[in-house]
Amino acid sequence: MFGDNARMTAYESSTIAAIATPPGSGGIGVVRVSGPGAAAVAHALLGNLPQPRLATLGRFRDANGASLDEGLALWFPGPNSYTGEDVLELQGHGSPAALRLLLSAALAAGARLAQPGEFTQRAYLNGRMDLAQAEAVADLIAAGSAAAARAAVRSLSGEFSDRVNALAMGLLQTRALCEASLDFPDERDVPVAVELAGPLASLEHACRALLEATRHGVRHSQAPRVVLAGRPNAGKSSLLNALTREDTAIVTPVPGTTRDVLQVEVELAGVGLTLLDTAGLRDTVDVVEQEGVRRARAAAVNADLVLYLVDSTDNEALAAAADDIQAMHLDELPGQNAATERLLVVASKVDLAGAGANDAALLPAALRVSTATGEGLDALRTEILRRLGRGSGEGVGAFSARERHVQAVREALHHLEAARAADNAKAGGELVAEELRLAQDALGAITGRTVPDDVLAEVFGRFCIGK
């Protein structure tokens, strides 16, 4: 279906094998074999070929008949397997040494060591999945949160591909109508003047919707970076510990305790985030602290969201907060959202006596929190997720996507806009048809219908070995 026979030539005569479970010890370890020689490997290691799709207890042996391990063998005859080829899976004990012996025996029986992502690449080339689904496999493996995992599963099941293919089909139909009017103007069933304004407008609207959904999918595939910034002793490290519910950062009343950027992975309501605690922003003669401040500012500029903390008991810090924020140059933040959406001001230490007398007047939009009592922390978590587009219900139906997908949909939209402009200017049906073809090719790059080999190498080269 999606396979390219020319690309498959290099694989037709090779059988690959790899350890499919992560490095380290575990209860179970898996060695996977795929290719035309998988049956020969099964006979060499097991002495027989297991029944298809039936877990069979067996003893694994090397070429000399020495016992290597005992476990389960599963046989999946092609094309009804993950790769579309004959596949053998050997599930033994999760000892790294035992798995290496088992893999060596498979290689001695005629297999070669698989390249990163080669099993999934064969699944793609054999039409078992399209390229977007193949990338979703890697996204699912790398998912750092429940939301990311659910989004990857949706893409793996074909939800993203279905939307891409539906738009591509609409392009094809409109293009066919346009070209038919050019090629057969005298045929009675083909109108000489084809009305394209309506179909083109509809396609452009659908493409814009797909672009927004794809951007949202990228956000779900990648853990957003949330930077904690502010003056020394503003409560950044205490807030980091409160959000992670661990004593991750050192907290002392001594200014300048945090000298470098501390990065921590955390999950809020099923959403994975990367929190970065940074050095306090201030002028200093300390060379090490100066470097920490430089790194803090750099982290803020590249963040998806900046939490600027200000001590609500410090009148000087409250009065200077606006200038301090402006000095961070948050208008340089990348992405579509305005800098104001990427900044969340947090007034800390509101539990202390007298706190709050001035912060509400000087920082009316600030969220007021106390890491000592927990006041405001739930509201802060909710607002963080909202600012990142991960609020309640916003992740429902989201699929995983990648930046290359965004670029492909954006390119398709560009050609659709050009097609509408050509149609409006009466520039000729040939030009409209060509722009529609280019838009269709751009979408084809997502699913792999029109994708160069170097892109395939880049995609699958990022996979782990054994998948």
- 219, 349 contact by CB (below 8 A): no
- 222, 138 contact by CB (below 8 A): no
47 confidence band (pLDDT: 50, 70, 90):
very high
Alpha-helical runs (H) found in 328-447: 359-362, 377-387, 403-424, 429-447
| Class of domain 5-129 as given by CATH | alpha beta
pLDDT (tens digit, 9 = 90+) per residue, 11-26?
567 999 999 998 888 8
The span from the CA of 61 to the CA of 27, in Å, is 20
Please tell me the predicted confidence (pLDDT) of residue 252.
Answer: 46
What is the architecture of the domain spanning 142-219+401-447? Answer: Up-down Bundle (1.20)
Question: What is the arithmetic mean of pLDDT over 443-461?
Answer: 81
The span from the CA of 306 to the CA of 328, in Å, is 10
> What pTM, to 2 d.p., does this model score?
0.71
Question: What is the arithmetic mean of pLDDT over 110-132?
Answer: 93
Domain boundaries, the chain: 5-129, 142-219+401-447, 226-387
pLDDT (tens digit, 9 = 90+) per residue, 320-350?
778 777 777 666 544 444 445 788 889 988 8
Is the model's pLDDT at 138 over the cut of 70?
yes
pLDDT (tens digit, 9 = 90+) per residue, 50-68?
999 999 999 999 999 999 9
Least confident of 108-117, 373-382, 383-392, 431-440: 383-392
Helix H or strand E segment including 94: strand 87-94
Is the model's pLDDT at 3 over the cut of 50?
no
CA distances (Å), origin 107, targets 114, 118, 274, 327, 407: 10, 16, 41, 60, 41
pLDDT (tens digit, 9 = 90+) per residue, 160-179?
999 999 999 999 999 888 87
- 17, 103 contact by CB (below 8 A): yes
Is the model's pLDDT at 1 over the cut of 80?
no
- 289, 309 contact by CB (below 8 A): no
What is the architecture of the domain spanning 226-387? Answer: 3-Layer(aba) Sandwich (3.40)
Looking at every residue in the chain, the average pLDDT score rounds to 82
